[in-house]
Amino acid sequence: MTAKTSRNSGSETTASASLAPLGLLTDLPRQQLALMAQSASALMRASESVRKVQQQAAQRATVQHQEVAERLRQPCDFNELMAIQSELLRFNFQEAAQYWQQIATAAMKAQADLVGTAGQVLEAGGGEPTLDSLQKAFEASLNGSGVAASAGH
């Protein structure tokens, strides 16, 4: 009876070893989906930060243009008109530079976040399957099932 038990546990170990590569193959879609979800989350955070930059720029421009409109409703001479126009032009150039600097900063943070996500996957994935290891695992599972089938006959 003990001999029978040892044969069963040996065959169970062989069966679980031959199914281990399939476990990698079935786990791969979950890992890919997790990476996609994490990357999508990083992109949504980046989108949110870009939108905040846009909203803040629009609010500053609204305030500035309202102030200029109020000043222009009052009578003014040509020199004051030119001063208002040059002030508005300076503000627009300054705001454009600040806007694009903030957008570039947000884009770089997003890029760093995405690279960090990929880095986490690579660090955590020391045992994660590569394409080559998956191909070998698949071949081993085919060879293992073929060997198990021929051993059964």
Question: DSSP for 95-125?
Answer: HHHHHHHHHHHHHHHHHHHHHHHHHHHHHHG
pLDDT at 14: 53
**Percent of the chain having pLDDT more than 90?**
42
Per-residue b or e along 6-35, where b marks 16 or more CB atoms closer than 10 Å to that residue's CB = eeeeeeeeeeeebeebeebeeeeeeeeeee
Which residue bears the tokens 């006959």?
153
pLDDT at 133: 61
| 141/71 Cα distance (integer angstroms) | 80
Q: What is the pLDDT of residues 14-30, one digit of tens each?
A: 555 555 556 667 777 88
pLDDT at 80: 94
Q: What is the mean pLDDT of each run of 10 residues along the chain (153 residues)?
A: 52 53 71 85 93 96 96 93 95 96 94 81 59 65 51 44
